[in-house]
Amino acid sequence: MKKLIPVFGVVLFLLMMVSTASAAKFSIGGFAGVNIPLFQEDVKSGLLFGAKGRIAVLPFLGVEPNFVYSKYGDKDFDIGGQSMSREGGTITSFGVDLLLMTPGEFSRGRFYALLGVNSNSLKRKGLADQTQLGLSLGTGFEFLPTDILGIEVRARLHGISLEGGGGRNNLELSGGLNYHFGKE
């Protein structure tokens, strides 16, 4: 069942694109940035990258299916005078974010807040792989130098609960480009 969540998300995204392509504004984009662990001492910051599609359901409301691949940095420990290193691990995430955007274009730019849910696959050497549900909350700004190209920056808090208690909490800072289709 858990493996069907990403497939369902992709199918939903494609159906929404086909049904709204002629009437609504939508965009596709890619991004990259840094994944900063919060309240976790066993990993360091790492890189992230991803892809997304955004459908403007209303001028101020958007739905954004997305894929994010994050990597934690390796952590060095000093135990009993001996230096050891532990692999940071990876997170592969498929999700959907709801965006509340400023209506219309404000000086060719748009602020937004986001709230999302995602399915996360966590992998780390020496530990069992886990697929867990996560939540995200964030904000961003998209600058539109033309009607079809957007330059975007965002900050997103991404929380994932783990089996047996605890969790992984991350601050994701990213920037990217969006290509827009259709009209608002």
Question: Greater confidence, 20 or 165?
Answer: 165
pTM value?
0.77
What are the helix (H) ranges across 80-121? none
> Over 90: is that where the pLDDT of 125 sits?
no
Task: Return d(Cα 105, Cα 103) in angstroms, integer.
Answer: 7
Domains present along the chain, CATH in parentheses: 4-16+27-73+87-181 (2.40.160.20)
Reported as a single tens digit per residue, the pLDDT across 130-159 is 788 899 999 999 998 988 899 999 999 998
Q: State which of 72-81, 106-115, 144-153 shows the largest mean pLDDT.
A: 144-153
Computed over every residue of the chain, the mean pLDDT equals: 82
Give Cα 169 distance to the centre of its chain. Answer: 13
